[in-house]
Structure 1
Amino acid sequence: MDTTVADPLVGRLLDGRYRVESRIARGGMAAVYLAMDIRLDRTVALKVMHRSLAEDPDFVRRFIGEAKSVASLSHPNVVHVFDQGTDGDHVYLSMEYVPGRTLRDVLRERGRLPAREALEIMIPVLAALGAAHQAGMVHRDVKPENVLLSDDGRVKVVDFGLARAIGAGHQTRTGIMIGTIAYMSPEQVTAGTTDQRSDVYAAGVMLFELLTGQQPYQSENPMSVAYRHVHDQVPAPSTLVPGVPRELDALVRAAAAREAAHRPADATALLVAAVDAHRALPPDLGTGPGAPAAPPPPAAPFPAGGPGPGVPPANPTLVQSRTEMLTSPAAGPAAAPAARRRIGPIVAISALAVLMIAAIVGTGYWFSEGRYVKVPDLLGMNVEVARSRAAQQGFDVKIGTPVHDRKVGEGRVLRTDPVAGREVTRDQTITLIPSAGPLKITVPNVVNLSEADARAKISEAGLTPGSVTRVPNDTVQRGLVIKTSPQVGSKLTEGAKVTITLSAGLVMPDVGGMQCDQAQGVLQQKGFQVAVVQQTDQAAPNTVIAQNPAARAEVTANQAVQITCSKGPDGGFRWPWERNDGNVQPGKAPVPIPDVRFKNVRDAVTELRGAGFKVKVRKIAFAGTGTVVAENPLGQAPAGTRVTLWH
């Protein structure tokens, strides 16, 4: 795992789709990242080409073409290519993520491998290369770094076509040889040409390295290694490690023959021989010094490319005898004994050939596609329906812990493990992860917090701070939160917006016209320091006729305020329904006024009107409380008198 943390791509959303989580590795041509495809909610490996390549328009064109070809190649031993694209100066491939390690990591850790284990790695590699060759593709860079061994034991080949995309322009312009020199075929070195047999050569070199723990040609000078590939024959592995079975010596020498015409025609031909060699190995055969050599194997068949060095040709006598038997007109009774003598070995050999081919095909099928099936696409289905469908296809199905999701409805399949489309063994267990639906989050209480603190608390809860409005308030200081919308305690979908209302500043309550004792109580309850001044006035006694600061002026908490109360006129105060002699005017007899303080405003208005009074409602500040805090007049008054309520 690459530990570099200063990579500018880490944490970025590439192409609006791939969230780059970490860098896995960095090579000479590209860096590989672990990323999340947020559109399909799956983990992928992103191979991002270095900027020097991405700036070459010819390379980008070739790269896109190769990516399309590789994406069409579907094989259980090939790392799938999902997507390709560009984002600014980043050119990338989105590929199947295979958790595990490379074959190079295994070689560094263990050195050479036992013969059986080496073949069991090479067989799926050859199956992957064979599928590519059948599709008209050439890998061009077969090496242990491009072979992945997954944590669950699968073998995958990666980077098909990448060398061609890079080499198509660079080689003609600069003469650079594209590939890895340690595995490069002679024709790649001398002429820069490649075909399926070039991949076969590299596979032979890789098998040599698996069996011996080292490459056939080693030098600090790459040109020296290239020279050896052109002029020398790759030696038999047993010359370095005594005891390597002779059939593996023959396999390596045939695959890594210096002349391309002497190699198997493609990886499928080499695969047939490798499977046959695997069947011939004793179960406990190792490759340590002194290990017994296996008996000579039957000739490995190379159907399209001719036999390689060390492989005996077909028996000409047997062919001639069979021809004579089938075509000679003189074959009569006298010739019957001879014919029967010839037919016996022919039938035996033919039967043996049929059995060998069946075994090779069956074993090849086991190592390639026969033991694998694709995980069905169950996303978005009802969990029980998905369980039934997967079970019908032979999978063992488990239901995982539900996970909240904004888009997928509750009770439907959010994702599967393994993911849809992945090749798995037939006895694989599929885990269905249901959606728990959108996560519901309670709006937190942010009243009396600053805007910054309120936004942080809303974000921490999993919601999105929305727009901000400011209104005056008679209880909350400037800049602090008065309320939210939706209000505190509401249940919202994760990520939903919450708007914030801030105080534009504390304002002086409007207590003008209140009875003086009521006004003093209201102001003290709000934290003000109240001073009362008496003054002669035409207003009814004990009524507020002035206040300082003025109503709705901005103030601070605990501020000292002053109210001026009327003492009445010098000549004494008379209510409108009183005559000069103090008696009540005819038809103006006072009746009790209901005391509706601390009641709901609506209920208070209904009660006063029911008693025959007119009602006026006033707010102390910009936003009323909804509860009556003051009433004037109180006591008695004739029906039809106007009563003022404050809230």
Structure 2
Amino acid sequence: MMIDRILNGKYKLIAKIGEGGMANVYKAISIPDGMYVAVKILKPEYSNDNEFIRRFKAEAKAAASLDHPNIVAIRDVGMEEDIHYIVMEYVEGITLKEYISRKGILLWSEAAEIAIQICSALQEAHDHGIVHRDIKPHNILYTEEKTAKVTDFGIARAASVATITMAGSTIGSVHYFSPEQARGGFTDEKSDIYSLGITLYEMVTGRVPFEGENLVSVALKHLQAEPMEPSKMFDSIPASMNDIIMKAIKKDPRLRYSSAGEMLSDLRRVIVEPRISFVKFIKPQDLGDTVRLDNIPAEGPQTGNGGAELLAKSKGNKRKNKKMKDSTMIWIIAVVCILIMLGGAGITLATILGTGKDRGESFTLSNYVGMSYQEVMDELDEKYQVTAKVIYKFDERYEDGKIIAQNPAAGKKIRMGGFTEVELTVSQGEQRVKIPQLSFADYRDGEARLTELGLVPVIYDEFNATVSPNMVTRTYPAANKSVKAGAQVILYRSRGAESRSIRVPNLIGKTLDEAKRELEKLKLKTGDILPSDGDKQYIEDQFPAAGEEAWENSKVNLYLKKLPQATPVPQIRTDSLVIELDEDEKYDENVDLKITILFPEVSVPLIYKEETVARSKFPLTTEVNFTNRAGTVVTVELDGKKVLQRVYN
């Protein structure tokens, strides 16, 4: 029992306030100064790992040198018997993950303010040579004063290099891993930038960009899949905010921000210039020699922050010296051990070693539409050594994870192990939106939030003695419920304490001024007046009707008698037409005459006159009468051939 225990005579544990994959967190009193502190105690399974403990102490002491308002300060590192602990400042607040869960989606401006604080903390740490390696909303505390504080600087680095027994704690982290961490490769400050980009993505969309059935499928997406851009989900996200996120989560570290300071500068600018497109992207062709990310060799058998080694693959390339072969085999064995520990996540030894097929051979693409994208990706990789690029799209016709379309199409032949990439469009199922918690918010902010989420707000009024007028009392469906994108959500707006009931007077036959005075006297309000150009001397109807009950200060709509409308008299235009026979044509004794009129608002001409006329009567003079409209066309035909046409303006 840890509660009430005093560590080294200095820290009395008074309550357990959290639990993570590697440690438990307690609220404690610092006996020397009487201040509250947070004490993080490593779990027993790590207390016996000497290498982990050595790294843990070294990294914690290094992190203790950081002094920044957005970093949880480390005050002490200690040990008593077999208990290893670090003492940190006590922060009153919740994790950023909890905050996102409560709000559903953050306004982009609020997300930018939070990201500025996190980025500032990372800049301070990177300037001191410290890389966090596990940036995620779970490791960021958020206070009522809207201050973000990054925690777990020491424990993240120690965990990333010490032991493979921590696989169970990677479940929350894998969604925020950088591609190089997912590969088990070299990580530096740019891995933190990627993870911050994923965190920022989640703040503005309410979801992480990559989901999957297991850790391996999520990590694969970090390597292969392209995320849907936030601005394509929500039009309200400015282009520059979208660009900041997309630059931060580039798969190639060289294409990301060069430093936390550079990203911080863009975040500060987007706050004041949201509508200006200013983010500068690095083009791959500007980097010189290009190396495909998934073919970059791993930097040895390091664990890459827990679970990252899940995706380190070798295609079975021949090694020219025994030392490299031995190193590769050690790495493969480590990967297989982890896969077994995770319960068979779906990568086999054949996947890791390669199939040995002739890479020059061609094969015919099958029709993958309707199939599970994970199965198809495994097939393409294992059987044909072909890379698949995944594009995600909401589509209610297909289940989540099913393929909607493919490129190249089924029946096309491509070369095994070649450079042709198969593009798979994968369904995310029906697009659904989680309703945010809006109680006690101004109803106008609630409307804006729902609209931003792609929902349709509908305002209903209700009396509520505990919620101030014009504030949201509740929603229907309730907060945190998931609804289809575009669904209606009722916002109940408080009208304050319930008012008294008033019998609505009979206003029919009164003038508009008389009705307004009577309503004001009874403490009722004049509502809509329809039509706006009606006869103000006579009210023809009302709602609510006379005799019905209405609440004090509620509105009564008035319907005025319509004024008679003057019927416009159309203007008739008359024109005299002289019709002559065409000298180049031969006519019989009788000629078919046809006169048509085409008005500008129709596409089919009106036949005005159609008759047979003796050839001897030509030239013929006749009159046409029609409603005078600009653009009217009169056409004369003799024996089916046009001989005269006039356009009137």
TM-score (norm 2): 0.42
Using structure 1 for the length normalisation, give the TM-score. Answer: 0.42
Considering fraction of residues, name the structure with more strand: 2
Higher RCO, 1 vs 2 (CA within 8 Å, ≥6 residues apart): 2
